[in-house]
Amino acid sequence: MSTTDLPYLPSKLKDMQSLSLLIAGVGLAILLLSWIFGAANFYQGYLVGWLFAIGFAAGGLMICCIHNLAHGGWGFLIRRIAEASAMTILPIMVLFLPIMFSLDDLYPWAIRGEDGLSVYHTDPVIGAKLHYLNHGFMWLRYLIITVIWSGAAYLFHTYSKQQDLTGDMKWRRKMRFIAGPMALIYVLTVTIASVDWIMALEPAWFSSIFGVMMAAGHMLTMLSFGIVFLTFLAQWEPVKRAFTLERQHDLGKLLFAFVVFWTYIELSQFIIYWHANLPEEITWYMNRQTGGFNMLSWILFMSQFAIPFLVLLSRSTKRNRKTLLGVASFLLFMRVVDIYWMVAPSINLPHEKTAALYPVKTTAMTGSAFHPLDVIGFVTFGALWFGLFLKNFRSRPILPVNDPYFSLNAEIKDSEA
């Protein structure tokens, strides 16, 4: 089959793209106005929404890496989705600029006194971290992550496009060649990213497993979305034929694996910190065991672990399209709750002892724990990412038909790939 006689996506996707970008435009306008008018809750809402969007984009990049390294039939259908999603990294990273320009409104370490030094430079814990947590280095890290992630996404996209045109094995080798190093670099850079974007909200606190937690979140986001979107596309040919039960089962198994992985990482951190109960480590959980956030912690544990775990445990639920769609959509929503749970308690510091660690308040800290801007933030960024994704996705064939190992529905060929 050549690329030319491939059916392109129905025009429905074009309407969805326009609608998403319209919602995103309105949302961004509201967020921009709230920023100009100095709403304290702008920062939390914007950061939560932005982290939600970058989760799709970085998760897409990671799936490109893993599928090119491991191959296998599971990835052929989700590959185009992952590639289109990874190509949104650059615009999403550019949208981090409002936060880069107002670091001192969000991150305590970034507040500068009259002398130009951080107001926390005399603090024994935060002061010692200022070699890393300073404006210049933060900008450098931001630029490096943007260049590496979007560069890798661009390479995957370009090589894959060439493969579509020629079907040459050379492109597969090239993709595999960057997939290995990129998987390694991603794990290193996602640690840096997680420290910069979330952990530095509480600069006195630290955790070495934090980057893995974020990576697990990225994968969960993209896998859930992949399943939801493929189920949607399966209403039409050619995905209807290609999204076989076996391929769906494979994606279900991966989703299950990452639900367990996320829980394993979260619990590792929790058990160690809870059990040691050291003053410099326990603040994260003090904030999350106070008031409403305690309830949220339990909701998160039940909804992002217990329920999906028990449902996905059975083979028949993973092979039932409606059940899997339900679980994947539910997990997609829980991603927002998870990101809110990671960000909001660190900004609001509900526990008086943790709040006392940061005597100089950022603008964000003066906001409320939950605010309509939080909802606007994630709706805006969700819609924005989806619109950008659809724009990339529509520009290419839905399936990697010219991949030497791909066949529309031959399971046996899949297993040899």
Provide the b/e sequence for 16-43 (b: ≥16 CB within 10 Å): bbeebbebbeebbebbeebbeeebbbbb
Query: Any contact of residue 22 with another protein (CB under 8 A)?
Result: no
Contact 373, 142 (CB under 8 A): no
Binding segment for another protein (CB under 8 A), chosen from 73-81, 155-163, 244-252, 309-317, is 309-317
Positions in 265-294 near another protein (CB under 8 A): 267, 270-271, 274-275, 277
Distance, in Å, from the CA atom of 409 to the CA atom of 46, rounded to the nearest integer, reads: 42
Query: Any contact of residue 35 with another protein (CB under 8 A)?
Result: no
Q: Which is nearer to another protein, 36 or 412 (CB)?
A: 412
Q: What would the x/- binding string for another protein be over residues 129 to 168, using CB under 8 A? A: ----------------------------------------
Query: Any contact of residue 309 with another protein (CB under 8 A)?
Result: no
Q: Which is nearer to another protein, 132 or 270 (CB)?
A: 270
Q: Which is nearer to another protein, 15 or 416 (CB)?
A: 416
Smallest distance, another protein to C-beta of residue 234, A: 24
Query: Any contact of residue 36 with another protein (CB under 8 A)?
Result: no
Contact 78, 230 (CB under 8 A): yes
Query: Any contact of residue 410 with another protein (CB under 8 A)?
Result: no
Distance, in Å, from the CA atom of 210 to the CA atom of 231, rounded to the nearest integer, reads: 32
Tell me whether residue 65 is exposed, middle or buried, using C-beta atoms within 10 angstroms of its C-beta: 0 to 12, 13 to 18, 19 or more: buried
Q: Which is nearer to another protein, 188 or 313 (CB)?
A: 313
Q: Which is nearer to another protein, 139 or 274 (CB)?
A: 274
Helix (H, G, I), strand (E, B), or coil: what is residue 404? coil
Q: What angle do CA 222, 338, 145 make, to 5 degrees?
A: 55
Q: Which is nearer to another protein, 137 or 309 (CB)?
A: 309
Tell me whether residue 352 is exposed, middle or buried, using C-beta atoms within 10 angstroms of its C-beta: 0 to 12, 13 to 18, 19 or more: exposed
Q: Which is nearer to another protein, 8 or 274 (CB)?
A: 274
Rule CB under 8 A: choose which of 12, 14, 170, 315 binds another protein: 315
Q: Greatest CA separation found in the chain? A: 69
Size of the site for another protein (CB under 8 A): 10
Rule CB under 8 A: choose which of 235, 314, 368, 395 binds another protein: 314
Smallest distance, another protein to C-beta of residue 98, A: 38
Helix (H, G, I), strand (E, B), or coil: what is residue 375? helix
Positions in 366-405 near another protein (CB under 8 A): none
Contact 91, 146 (CB under 8 A): no
Residue 189 token pair: 């850079």
Distance, in Å, from the CA atom of 327 to the CA atom of 340, rounded to the nearest integer, reads: 20
Query: Any contact of residue 302 with another protein (CB under 8 A)?
Result: no
Contact 399, 238 (CB under 8 A): yes
Q: Which is nearer to another protein, 274 or 333 (CB)?
A: 274
Interacting residues with another protein (CB under 8 A): 267, 270-271, 274-275, 277, 313-315, 412
